[in-house]
Chain A
């Protein structure tokens, strides 16, 4: 059978990462995967060079809708390092609290999306219902469900008051029970096991060689977590474990995220109960002296890197953003090779790239120049049908 090219995407530009995949297939088997992310370059790095730090902060918070706090915090702490100031301890703890709440919301969202891709919609409904709990907590703290706007250069803009604490802890208690429940579900539910075990294999050595980060690396038994390896914010004061899984496949990535949910909920409870007293903001100068700083942060999807360069003004001379999804790309390309078309949704979703609503896909028969279109939903349905016939699911 001749090799065929199978383009997926680009998706709707309103979504976070509009990409196009070109999948080269030989019959059912995937030979190669190609990426095109040129659909919506927003020029944020250039735009940041023309805005004062305080305005850039809002721009950078909007790089991503799911891990907005990750970008804003990473930028703020980088600028603070260049200014030579440190945010007060209470502000660091509040930043960390929101960071972990963001991780909970992101992992729950991902677990639901991954479940949806394999046709396990009960889990999708469950996780997205539970995600409302953490969204409510975030709204209680920040006033917003996304783009929390918690950060300022030098600290945080809002406090976590004693009056909020009982409601936050009540929500966290519910979330801990649910997160623990999910750690059992993923081990016992047959649909999930068949669709994830042995799928998208990425060995420990290859994960290291391909620079995988975040749950993709940890799902391949690579203990790389910036929170522990390069402690920032309040992570050096809060007990937590780096979760790894020896499974080295999509199941490993699911397992890591499910267990990280439990960890994050416990970390949040610890932070709310032990929040140190003190100021919310340090006094910061308007400008930062000339300097360079590599700001790292463990975002829900993995290591996030901002390279910042200042020249004694109130603007950045250069901001370079490296997001975890870009770094994980070579890992997807490798993990998907040799698998069948039916596995594309779950393997791609396993790095959590937020493109699962990809608009349409086209099958191109290279020899006959025939083209047929499939929506992402059709592909998902095809994957389910394939496994229904093969495994009797």
Chain B
């Protein structure tokens, strides 16, 4: 690259229906691994995978062109905890693959060998939601300091910070 390129044109607009096309494609390509695939917004698709087969589902989606893991989010839904894998699919779509685990035994296989960056996200979710990732090599706390009390997961809904309720927001 030698010269500063002149701006060419704005990005191409999204073709309507790409989300539904992706949803049908993953349902057809990964039967038994991916279910409930549907559009949730412009370039946004969600789908569900059985927790014990999450690795197969993620690697199947990776083979279908979801080459980038944009992030992982934990969710507290009461009886269940959920982990969302936000995968960047072709054509700018984010496919949020979700796996639910029971609150009493929150365990999921790691995907850190498929996406190395997932190791960091899994450590974060372990700190904040207490979900164990089986096979994860590095299980040290990432966000919480080493003196943080064991078994306290601050982003679970039943966790309240000390002094909560005393603070009034204007």
Contacts and interface: CB of A to CB of B under 8 A. Distances in A.
Nearest to B69: A211
B115 A266 contact: no
B116 A209 contact: yes
A332 to B, nearest CB: 12
A231 to B, nearest CB: 5
Nearest to A38: B145
B92 A294 contact: no
Interface string A241-269: 10111100000000100010011001100
Contacts of A211: 68-69, 115-117
B149 interface: no
Contact of B1 (A46, A245, A296, A305): A245
B60 interface: no
Q: Is the interface of B mostly helix, strand, loop or mixed?
A: loop
Interface stretch (A97-105, A322-330, A337-345, A356-364): A322-330
A237 interface: yes
Contact of B44 (A39, A45, A208, A294): A294
A236 B13 contact: yes
Main DSSP-derived SS at the A contact region = mixed
Nearest to B86: A294
A318 B76 CA distance: 9
A292 B1 contact: no
A307 B154 contact: no
Given A37-B143, A208-B67, A293-B41, A230 B74 contact: no
B104 interface: no
B15 interface: no
Contacts of B88: 229
A41 B166 CA distance: 21
Given A37-B143, A38-B143, A294 B7 contact: no
Contact of A292 (B14, B40, B68): B40
A43 B1 contact: no
B126 interface: no
B71 A305 contact: yes
A292 B155 CA distance: 17
Interface string A83-115: 000000000000000000000000000000000
Interface in A207-257: 208-211, 224, 227-231, 235-241, 243-246, 255
Most buried by A among B10, B13, B40, B169: B10
A286 interface: no
Contact of B154 (A46, A238, A291, A318): A46
A192 to B, nearest CB: 16
Most chain A CB atoms below 10 A, which of B9, B10, B11, B121: B11
B73 interface: yes
A294 B70 contact: yes
Contacts of A255: 1
Contacts of B9: 239
A129 interface: no
Contacts of A313: none
Interface string A123-164: 000000000000000000000000000000000000000000
Contacts of B41: 81, 293
A301 interface: no
A307 B71 contact: yes
A293 B94 CA distance: 10
A267 B7 contact: yes
B2 to A, nearest CB: 8
Contacts of B120: 326-327, 329-330
A235 B70 contact: no
A318 B94 contact: no
A229 B141 CA distance: 34
Contacts of B73: 307, 318, 320, 322
B84 interface: yes
B146 A51 contact: no
Contact of A238 (B5, B10, B116): B10
B142 interface: yes
B16 to A, nearest CB: 14
A5 interface: no
Interface string A175-208: 0000010010000000000000000000000001
A241 B7 contact: yes
A305 B146 contact: no
Contacts of B142: 37-38
21 contacts: A38-B142, A38-B146, A41-B145, A208-B67, A208-B68, A227-B11, A229-B92, A230-B43, A230-B92, A230-B94, A231-B13, A231-B92, A238-B10, A241-B5, A259-B1, A263-B4, A263-B7, A294-B44, A307-B73, A318-B73, A322-B70
Leading 4 A-B pairs by shortest Cβ distance: A322-B71, A320-B73, A230-B92, A239-B7
Given A41-B145, A240-B10, A291-B40, 19 more contacts: A37-B142, A38-B145, A41-B144, A46-B155, A180-B4, A208-B67, A228-B11, A229-B92, A230-B92, A230-B94, A231-B14, A231-B92, A236-B11, A259-B4, A292-B96, A318-B73, A318-B155, A322-B86, A330-B119
